[in-house]
Structure 1
Amino acid sequence: MEDKVHIADSGAAEPTPAKRPETQRVQVLERAFDLLNALVSLGGTGTAGQLKAETGLAGPTVHRLLHTLIARGLVHQLPDRSYALGANLVPLGEAATRQLGGLAVPQMQSLVGELGESVNMAAMESEMVVYIAQVPSPQSMRMFTEVGRRASMHSTAVGKAMLATMEPDRVRAVMASTGMPSMTAKTLTKPGPLLEQLPVIGQQGYALDDEEQELGVRCLAVPVPQGPTRMALSVSGPTARVDDAFVRHAVPLMKRTAAAIGRRYSRS
């Protein structure tokens, strides 16, 4: 709280208070966030030496900050003495991603009006996709995905759209961590075929889940640029309605909407 100074009335003009900087930055907080971001960039775990190299901070500073973050549950130390993101970050991340989903709803509603099918927004969280917003189709037979639902990346269009933005080694690490469970007979369950798809997805700018998550359902997704984390926008519906002609019509509209959502995120 800013201190208040009371000056007795002596007939003289009150001195003008010194102007404070518009943004008051706290260096120790910036350094703590730098460490957390460094852990994210290292894939969630890293040694003290790696964190020192990533952040440019001195070794004693890194250790002092890590001890404080561990005490708050934001970081934890592994048996091999490396460090990992802590469990207390999870509710913070979940609350933030749901808030981000709410920001996208107006654009998603417009897209439902143009396409007539359900529109979802998903983000990458703990190497899975989590659905953070949905606007359902007005049609009687429609797809419904519960907000907060988690799904594998390899079997969903939103997941594949996000995987296509990663380096192959990072994709392999994600698949090794989560596995590639079979959801339907059409689900890809080996890294090789998935890795072959991703450059094509990156080049065309959209991913397709053709009954890989649920039989009778086709979903297409585009990545959201400028998002605070990896995110994707998807449209899903019955295979009879979401055919090749629908995909050709929908993809340009989805890319336009995703770009508008990304610009909104960049301003918020």
Structure 2
Amino acid sequence: MVDGKSAGGVQSVERVFDLLSIITASGGESSLSELASRAELPLPTIHRLLRTLIPLGYVRQLPNRSYALGPGLIRLGNAAGLQLGTYAQPVLQGLVDELGESANMAVLDGQMVVYVGQAQSSHSMRMFTEVGRRAHMHDTGVGKAILATLPEQQVLSIVTSMGMPTPTVKSHGTVESLLADLEVIRERGYAVDDEEQEIGVRCFSMVLPNAPTPTAISVSGPTTRVDWEFGERAVPLLRDAAQRLSAQFASAG
């Protein structure tokens, strides 16, 4: 059963979120027996909850009789993600004010990342990423920062499913090179997109510790300005911003 029940909470609501969390943790699909075992609930109770969730579109039953997350959650997730970006805007703007380059925030969206917040640089030549844009994970700073926090099996599942396109000659084109890079990211605590998305563009990125969903922030710009000396200044500021955002999200529940 999922831990962390709130005192005085509505039991049926908590049970619904238990089931959704179990399906998510199982890779997006769970059998009825798995739900019963992990939720520690009677089968009639699970049936009743699923019969409520399926017509609403929050859960769907697959042909093999197992249960998966439904499309109704996409709308809620997209809205929550955009609100998350708005909430983070002052911190992103603070990075721009101190470093002079564009700052972004992205969250894990299935097997890709989606950008949910941005503060733009005042330079005429700057990086611009549209909020709501989805991107591969293996060739973006935010994507690699998040991948470095995931189990290797999940990383392999993502790149196998989505492929590893190489927008530039510096992009990771093999699983081996990506896994080696992720090991470096874990050791140093931040990711670098070194012209892997676009030649002439460099990005430094870091995950938010203990975020409610895998989330990363970044600063990026032309390599003529965003060099390795820039990175030495940016990394401590990114770390501070990530910790402040995590604290804000935690205090907001």
Show the 5 A alignment for 1:1-268.
24-268=8-252
Q: Which amino acid aligns with 1:150?
A: R
Q: Give the aligned CA root-mean-square deviation in angstroms.
A: 1.4
Normalising by structure 2, report the TM-score: 0.94
Could you give the per-residue CA deviations for residues 79-131 of structure 1, whole angstroms, max 9, x where no partner exists? 22221111110010000011111111111111111100000000011111000
* Percent of aligned pairs sharing the same letter: 51
Q: Which amino acid aligns with 1:110?
A: G
Tell which structure's C-alpha radius of gyration is larger. 1
SS at match of 2:52: helix
Measure how far apart 1:182 and its partner are.
2.0
- Shift >4 Å, 4+ stretches: none
Normalising by structure 1, report the TM-score: 0.88
Give the Cα separation in 2 of the matches to 1:28 and 1:155: 42
In structure 2, the partner of 1:9 is none
Structure 2: gaps (5+ residues)? 1-5
Structure 1: gaps (5+ residues)? 1-21
Structure 1 window deviating more from structure 2 (211-220 vs 181-190): it is: 181-190
Measure how far apart 1:60 and its partner are.
2.3
Could you give the per-residue CA deviations for residues 20-69 of structure 1, whole angstroms, max 9, x where no partner exists? xx975221111111100111111211211222222222222222222221
